Chain A
Amino acid sequence: MMQKIEKALAIVLGTLLALMVLDVTWQILTRFLPMQPSSYTEEVARYLLVWIGVLGGAYAYRKRSHLGIDLLSNALHGAKRRALQIFVVLVCFAFAASAMVYGGTKLMLLTFELEQYSAALNLPIGFVYSVLPLSGLLICLFSVDHLIELVTTKEELPTEFDSDVHPYTDGLEEESTSVQKEKQKQPEAAVEA
């Protein structure tokens, strides 16, 4: 089930990125083709980015690829490490539940109720904000799944969120099928830059 959600997320997010490329390309083209420059592509691109950033946050959480500082957790072992790992998952759950699910739902309902519309597309802003509760729910779901794993697994699990970046050569190696305990860091995961 979790694997299916993860797979679906990957497909949705990849599609959104591809759409964003097409959208901006179209925006440039319309300025050079004999037609009115497009007036909605900028807004579409911005809202796609909000969706990618927030929904992708849940995906990256599932893949354990968010950056973290692991000096302390690497030094701990046994029950202490497990306690720390459980604490981390609980913090993530609490944040997602309060700010994203609760706050996000209220925000979405507020903008629907007060009928706020976007400038170019005249789209209800609530649709843009709906990604917050959606992504928050997914993070909560992934946290619970992770918590079950932490409580039921006998052996020690690796640190959750490290600052490490694993090597990549061509970025094309097939998604490893091993369970997500086997950490697969993304190429540029730490960058940003």
Chain B
Amino acid sequence: GFQEDQVALKLAHTLDQQHSVHRAMVFMGERLRELSGDSMRIDIYSGGQLGSERELIELLQIGSLAMTKVSASPMEGFVPEMKVFNLPYVFRDSEHFWNVLQSPIGKDLLVACERARLRGLGYLDAGSRSFYMNDIGVQTPADLNGQKIRVQNSQTAIKMVNTLGGAATPVSWGELYTALQQGVVNGAENNPPSFYLSKHYEVSKYYTLDEHTYVPDLLLISTEVWGKLEPQQQAWLQQAVDEAVVYQRKLWQESTEESLAAVKAAGVEVIYPDKQPFIDAVKPLHDSYKGTEVGDLLAEIKAIN
């Protein structure tokens, strides 16, 4: 039973309840209860019932929602430095990616959220994104030539696909299954669990693991709500978050492997291309950021091991 004097934090996200993120959030809620001796709890609203990611971020700023999990992608509109995550081939591999997130660069990016009245509590794993196509197995960037590829509505994502030779076509996530099926677009890009859970593998039979972007998920709390918590409560919450982050990375790994196995079983050809031609192809895009805030960040990231 809920105690009357319990501190209840409302957390909303846009993923369904099977997703590793949701399961980690449930775990986080349980840990917070235990740590706080039942004096704090988290109420979770899944599946976008309280709004899209952009709207949820805004609700945190407004103060009617305490916490949310969003992709770094819509954060571009609030914290421009986040653009760096949407650039292709910023990270060499998963290890480099996590080293950067745990370095001062990653911590500074979380702190940068404070300007937008958001406190970044931690990064969650959302893996790396790769291309999936209906009819062609992409081996080199040249294979993408003229192909209509669905991207998220983000300038950086659009530039990336166009630089690689494809024709970036923004289509909303809800319309994507039918858009793929009917050939409005020839392909799209996402991480393995999303490719699997969205059933897009029923239409797109070629999955090229070129791993062009690593876009992390962010766990955010409204600075106003955070400020009202006592230092001890803040510490409990941060500890619950830190434990959930570790737990979610493990779940994510499992779910990635399961998803890849499942799509292979469903007849999808999974291709492991040579990444160098892709990396070379996006060099002009990296160069175009020289001298900007994002460009400096890019150079710092590349310098990290």
Contacts and interface: CB of A to CB of B under 8 A. Distances in A.
Given A42-B170, A107-B62, A120-B153, A114 B116 contact: yes
A119 B154 contact: yes
A87 interface: no
B75 to A, nearest CB: 10
Interface residues of A, number: 18
B169 A31 contact: yes
Nearest to B118: A114
B30 to A, nearest CB: 33
A39 interface: yes
- The size class of the interface chain B forms with chain A is 20 to 34
A119 B117 CA distance: 19
A114 B114 CA distance: 10
A45 to B, nearest CB: 11
A36 B162 contact: yes
A122 interface: yes
Given A37-B148, A37-B168, A110-B61, A117 B158 contact: no
B228 interface: no
Interface string B168-186: 1110100000000000100
A118 interface: yes
Contact of B78 (A37, A39, A42, A116): A116
Nearest to B156: A119
Contact of A37 (B76, B80, B154, B169): B169
A24 B3 CA distance: 53
Interface in A93-152: 107, 110-111, 114-120, 122, 125
Contacts of A110: 61-62
Contacts of A117: 77, 80
B56 to A, nearest CB: 13
A114 B77 contact: no
A110 B80 CA distance: 17
B115 A43 contact: no
Contact of A119 (B153, B167, B168, B184): B153
A116 B77 contact: yes
A120 B170 contact: yes
B216 interface: no
Contacts of A31: 148, 169, 184
B215 to A, nearest CB: 14
| Residue from A42, A116, A120, A122 with most neighbouring chain B CB atoms (10 Å) | A116
B149 to A, nearest CB: 9
A119 B116 contact: no
A122 to B, nearest CB: 7
A107 B115 CA distance: 17
Interface residue SS majority, chain A:
loop
A119 B76 contact: yes
A36 B170 CA distance: 11
Interface in B129-172: 148, 152-155, 158, 162, 167-170, 172
Contacts of B172: 42
B74 interface: yes
Contacts of A114: 61, 78, 115-117
Interface string A34-54: 001101001100000000000
Interface in B65-79: 74, 76-78
Nearest to A118: B77
A119 B74 contact: yes
Given A37-B169, A114-B115, A119 B148 contact: no
Contact of B77 (A36, A42, A107, A125): A125
B168 A36 contact: yes
Given A43-B153, A119-B153, A120-B155, A36 B78 contact: no
Given A36-B168, A110-B61, A116-B116, 8 more contacts: A36-B167, A37-B167, A42-B170, A114-B116, A114-B117, A116-B78, A120-B154, A125-B77
18 contacts: A31-B148, A31-B169, A31-B184, A36-B167, A37-B169, A39-B153, A39-B155, A39-B169, A111-B58, A114-B78, A114-B115, A115-B116, A116-B58, A117-B80, A119-B54, A119-B76, A120-B170, A122-B155
